[in-house]
Amino acid sequence: MKKTAQTILTLAFLLLSTKTTFAQTAIGLSAIPPRIEISGKPGQVITKEIKIRNESNIERHISTSISDFIVNDNSGTPIKVISKDNRWAASQWVSISPNQSLKLKPGETKALNLIVIIPENATPGGHYAMVLHKPNNEAAIVSQTSSSIETNVGTLILISVAGKINQNAKIDYLIAPKFLEYGPVNFKSAISNLSDIHIKPIGSIKITNMLGGKTATITYNDLDYNIFPLTNRLFENKLNKKFLFGRYKAKLTASYGTAGGILTATIFFWVIPWRLILLVVCAIIIIILLVLLFKQPVKMKEQENAIDDLEKELEKLKKKYKDLK
């Protein structure tokens, strides 16, 4: 039972994930696409198509609703909210046609028209809503924090209203272990979005060795994560190389927004395979000692030969001296 509950909670979490896997297989339903990004001007009417597919082997009766959401963690998890004071709210701008309950046979996909009407007095910047599909007559799940989690799937609607938009961001940190024996090297970074609109940082982490030579280039935010206004997001990257040596520099460069914003951060780290070096040094010392040890008998032999030669020369000199007499 415990394992089953954990599995259900995981599926419910996937519902609220902003990754591209958002709502793909939760409770046997798929929302297609999981995310729509729309740009428009005040007063503009925009129409898009979304789909819902029954991945299960039973017939499903689906009801659709529209809700606002906020993000308040560093993983980009949207949370359904009901608030009239939400500056980012867009649920009142969005409607679905047809808006009645749907009946889906196993494997069936149905299309819905998503209609967005941007008000004339809409504030420039980002506004957000989610379209949720819920199977009728299916019980809600209670999470570990005792809050109710609805078993629904959906599509995130990210609307950018044209106008004078503040775009600003900063890198909170870029970190990696300062000393390693071997790779791989794990990097962690966080970016805060101080803008009036969601941003998607795009860039790379370039790693160079102590001579300035290129070691590797890692794509930054390769999963196209968004950072919502006034939130930060954690990113993880990895240098997948095992054998490294020396001091390395890692430089993060990322662009964001539509105004040419650039973010940079630099750190240094060392990779020294000290146990391997110690083993090599010990091996060299042992080899030198063995060579010296094996050379000793040779030197003694040479010394004995030299003494014999000296004795022979001495005998010759004695003989010459006797002849002179």
**Is residue 98 domain-resident?**
yes
Amino acid (one-letter) located at 145:
T
| Full residue range of the structural domain in which residue 129 is found | 2-161
Residue 303: its pLDDT value, please?
A: 63
- The verdict on 255 and 177 lying in the same domain is yes
With pLDDT > 70 as the criterion, what percentage of the chain qualifies?
77
Domain finish residue from 111, 144, 161: 161
Q: Tell me the two tokens of residue 114.
A: 């998503």
Q: Residue 4: which H helix or E strand, with range?
A: helix 2-15
Three-state DSSP class for 31? Answer: strand
Residue 203 maps to a domain: yes
Higher pLDDT among residues 151 and 25, named by residue: 151
Q: How many Å apart are CA 309 and CA 284, to the nearest integer?
A: 37
Cα separation, 279 vs 74, in Å, equals: 44
- Domain boundary among the residues 102, 136, 161 is at 161
Does residue 19 register a pLDDT over 80?
no
**Across residues 53-66, what is the average pLDDT?**
91
pLDDT at position 115, please? 96
Structure confidence at residue 163 (pLDDT): 94
CATH number at residue 244: 2.60.40.10
Domain stops at, among 161, 178, 211: 161
Q: Check: CB of residue 157 under 8 Å from CB of residue 69.
A: no
Tell me: do 157 and 175 sit in the same domain.
no
pLDDT given for residue 149 in this prediction = 42
Of the candidates 236, 243, 254, 177, the one whose C-alpha atom is nearest the C-alpha of residue 209 is 243
At 5, the amino acid letter reads A
At 80 the pLDDT is 85
Please indicate whether residue 242 or residue 303 has the higher confidence score (pLDDT). Answer: 242
* Contact (Cβ atoms closer than 8 angstroms) between residue 244 and residue 265: no
Report how far residue 306's alpha carbon sits from residue 239's, in angstroms, rounded to the nearest whole number.
Answer: 64
Residues 81, 205, single domain; the answer is: no
pLDDT tens readout for residues 69-86: 988 888 888 888 876 678
Same-domain status, 153 and 23: yes
Instruction: Say whether pLDDT at 234 is over 90.
Output: yes
69 within some domain = yes
| Domain tally, the chain | 2
Q: How confident is the model over 191-220, as pLDDT tens digits?
A: 999 999 999 999 999 999 999 999 999 999
Q: What is the DSSP-derived secondary structure letter of residue 123? A: P
Q: What is the pLDDT of residue 4?
A: 38
Q: Mention every residue, 6+ apart, whose C-beta is less than 8 A from residue 239.
A: 183, 184, 185, 186, 187, 207, 215, 216, 218, 250
- Token pair, residue 172, equals 């909170």
Q: Please check whether residue 303 lies inside any domain of the structure.
A: no
Q: What is the mean pLDDT of residues 87-94?
A: 94
- Higher-pLDDT residue of 56 and 307 is 56
